[in-house]
Structure 1
Amino acid sequence: MVSRTGPGEERPPLSVIIPLYQEIDSIDPLLARVHEALAGYGGPWELILVDDGSRDGTGARLQASALQYGRHVRVLILRRNFGQTAAMQAGFDVARGTLIATLDGDLQNDPADIPRMVDELLERDLDLLQGWRRRRQDAVVMRKLPSRIANALIGKVTGLALHDYGCSLKIYRAEVIKEVTLLGEMHRFIPVWVASVTAPHRIGETEVTHQARRFGTSKYGISRTFRVMIDLLAAFFFLRFGARPGHFFGSIGLIFGTIGALMMADLLWAKFVLSQHIGARPMLVISILFLVAAIQFLTTGVLAEMLTRIFYASGARTHHRVRWESDPTTAVWKQPR
């Protein structure tokens, strides 16, 4: 087990990524709290702020605030609103730290938890340390209930037992999270996707502070529970069959084909051995439908295998576009005092 950093020992370089959307009022207190929390971090760190196509002036405020704090504050402004997942991926793409921390920009996550979580990740020798908002300061119906339903579903389907998949406050080893390409709305399932590239026992959780929202309005609600269910089905498929989709479609095709073949064999026996009239029997139509469906599933499996091989041969591509970025050649680390 890796030990906690000792007295006088420098912590690993840390990149803190914060995606923001329509959070102009949160920017100044957020940056102040991050700098206060990491003032005694004891290692080099950088702050990466990603504006996800806000229309309330968030991007301009970020640029102005970054100039006030220094070149360790880096700003990315996406061309439009691509979603939280794409904003986080944009941050991961440019992060330079050995460790990466993520948190929301609405001031509900406490940056003061980050140094403790870094120490805990190193001490427990984890690749991902997930925050657990045990005492969550949100409305029960609009936020807590959907979150509990989603957490229960994810844990049941994936087998990865965590209390709070949706908490954005996480610490990652950069070498691990950069093996995962986030698409769609995969930020809800980051621990699940990380489990596809590292052992599940190297993913842990810890209690973190959670505070009530001070500015703006929540972008989440009860309707997201249904989207989580759809995303969960997609996550289950890609984790189990992402590299071998032919096994998924082929298995269904073989089952349908076997049923159709047995039904057709029974009809042939009745026709040629028992001399029965089978033209009006519903089983004839049903058996033909099963055989046609079997052929379709088998050919779909072959096509899916071909597309999978093309995808992995060409390399993963992100779907976000950056409109403006702080000059990476002038970026520096915030050095420990």
Structure 2
Amino acid sequence: MDLSIVIPLYNEDESLPELCDWIVRVVTANNFSYEIIMVDDGSTDDSWCIIEKLSAGNPNIKGIKFQRNYGKSAALNEGFKAAQGSVVITMDADMQDSPDEIPELYRMITEDKLDMVSGWKKVRYDNKLTKNFPSKIFNAMARSISGIKLHDFNCGLKAYRKKVVKSIEIYGEMHRNIPVLAKWSGFRKIGEKVVEHRPRKYGVTKFGWDRFINGFLDLATLTFVGRFSKRPMHFFGLYGTFFFIIGFFSSLYLIIAKIVDANYGITNKPLFYIALVVMIIGMQLFLTGFIAELVVRNAADRNNYLIEKKAGLN
């Protein structure tokens, strides 16, 4: 199968028939073998009824329904598990992503040999204050922290090689950081394509301001886990030792000052309390790293690694 198109959705009953018709026209015109996987994230409207009707009329349209709302990351994760196409494309269900982008995204994966292509909504129709400006800040932070030079990490329109989506796990609200997940899984051929951003035709946005705060926190977590999940002592031990040394030498300075001048009041100096606090913080960080190492070394999956190929082995 050439294509799997994964569409997470929540209360988008108005747009689904038109979106599916558009996708079918595009893939049929390009002679793609395809499947459309719509993941209903616990919708309270008629979305699932419409998915069932669409699936009954076209066997290439498939659906997954959650019992309750789990979030976009969970919907994408389940869609990726079910996807069978050699190229997997994700898009939102609100008609703001254009299915006309599908052929070029497919070509960039298959002919340009990219692992992943992320859409860039260069011209946006969202509210500049509530969506565009915070999005620019988040994308700038994501580029700086991850080292991935993308303009729009959170664009819902993306394309992947099948192996990418089968190698990553999306949870929490990590859908904003899928390029980072792909990079930490060893997929570094990440491209970008300017895509059309269309005005919302149906419904209202399901996301608020908190998505940017959560996105940044998830990015920080992902960066830490990606670098130090198998060697936490390298992080906690380093900073613990650093703080302990600062506190130790500060205390040593106060002791020497007391020896030189018997009237020197150690406990009257702010440095005395700062040194104690810094030493305690250093010891706590070091012990945290030590305990984390014990946990990692006893984890069942401590030696699970992503292997791309083997030669001469059964």
**TM-score in terms of structure 1 length:** 0.83
Is contact 2:148–2:180 with CA below 8 Å preserved after alignment?
yes
Identify the range of structure 1 (123-132 vs 268-277) with the bigger mean alpha-carbon deviation: 268-277
Is contact 2:177–2:215 with CA below 8 Å preserved after alignment?
no
Give the Cα separation in 1 of the matches to 2:276 and 2:177.
40
Q: 1:272 offset after TM fit, Å?
A: 4.7
Give the letter for the 1:178 counterpart: K
Identify the range of structure 1 (268-277 vs 110-119) with the bigger mean alpha-carbon deviation: 268-277
Q: Where does structure 1 lack aligned partners over 5 or more consecutive residues?
A: 1-11, 317-337
State which of 203, 209, 212 in structure 2 corresponds to 1:216. 203
What is the match of residue 171 of structure 2?
183
Is contact 2:164–2:187 with CA below 8 Å preserved after alignment?
no
- Structure number with greater CO (CA < 8 Å, separation at least 6) is 1
- SS, match of residue 124 in structure 2: coil
What is the match of residue 203 of structure 1?
190
Query: Does 1:267 pair with 2:257?
Result: no
Give the Cα separation in 1 of the matches to 2:286 and 2:145.
26
Aligned in 2, Cα 1:150/1:282: closer, same or farther, shift over 3 Å? closer
CA deviation map 1:116-157 (0-9, x unaligned):
211122222100011111222322223222222221221122
State which of 133, 138, 143 in structure 2 corresponds to 1:155. 143
CA deviation map 1:53-80 (0-9, x unaligned):
111121222122211212x222111121
Give the letter for the 2:199 counterpart: A
Q: 1:42 offset after TM fit, Å?
A: 2.8
Give the letter for the 1:48 counterpart: I
What is the match of residue 8 of structure 1?
none
Aligned in 2, Cα 1:154/1:68: closer, same or farther, shift over 3 Å? same
Give the Cα separation in 2 of the matches to 1:306 and 1:84.
34
Give the letter for the 2:43 counterpart: S
Give the Cα separation in 2 of the matches to 1:19 and 1:80.
14
What is the match of residue 141 of structure 1?
129
Give the Cα separation in 1 of the matches to 2:177 and 2:90.
14
Q: What aligned pairs does 1:221-240 form with structure 2 within 5 A after superposition? A: 221-240=208-227
Q: How many residues align?
A: 303
CA deviation map 1:236-280 (0-9, x unaligned):
323333332222211210111101111222233234565455344
Identify the range of structure 1 (115-124 vs 164-173) with the bigger mean alpha-carbon deviation: 115-124
Is contact 2:230–2:302 with CA below 8 Å preserved after alignment?
no
Q: 1:308 offset after TM fit, Å?
A: 3.7
Query: Does 1:21 pair with 2:22?
Result: no
State which of 77, 83, 100 in structure 1 corresponds to 2:71. 83
State which of 22, 30, 36 in structure 2 corresponds to 1:33. 22
Q: 1:45 offset after TM fit, Å?
A: 1.5
**TM-score in terms of structure 2 length:** 0.88
What is the match of residue 50 of structure 2?
61
What is the match of residue 171 of structure 1?
159
- SS, match of residue 254 in structure 1: helix
State which of 234, 238, 244 in structure 2 corresponds to 1:257. 244
Q: 1:180 offset after TM fit, Å?
A: 1.3
Give the Cα separation in 2 of the matches to 1:291 and 1:85.
41
Identify the range of structure 1 (297-306 vs 101-110) with the bigger mean alpha-carbon deviation: 297-306
What is the match of residue 51 of structure 1?
40
Give the Cα separation in 1 of the matches to 2:147 and 2:141.
10
- SS, match of residue 112 in structure 1: helix
- SS, match of residue 46 in structure 1: strand
Aligned in 2, Cα 1:307/1:36: closer, same or farther, shift over 3 Å? farther
What is the match of residue 247 of structure 1?
234
Identify the range of structure 1 (112-121 vs 86-95) with the bigger mean alpha-carbon deviation: 112-121
CA deviation map 1:197-233 (0-9, x unaligned):
2353x10011222211111101234443333333332
State which of 109, 118, 127 in structure 2 corresponds to 1:130. 118
Aligned in 2, Cα 1:265/1:300: closer, same or farther, shift over 3 Å? same
Give the letter for the 1:300 counterpart: T
Give the Cα separation in 1 of the matches to 2:170 and 2:295.
19
Q: 1:311 offset after TM fit, Å?
A: 6.4
What is the match of residue 322 of structure 1?
none
- SS, match of residue 230 in structure 2: coil
Aligned in 2, Cα 1:142/1:278: closer, same or farther, shift over 3 Å? closer
Aligned in 2, Cα 1:157/1:69: closer, same or farther, shift over 3 Å? same
Identity %: 34
What is the match of residue 285 of structure 2?
297
- SS, match of residue 167 in structure 2: coil
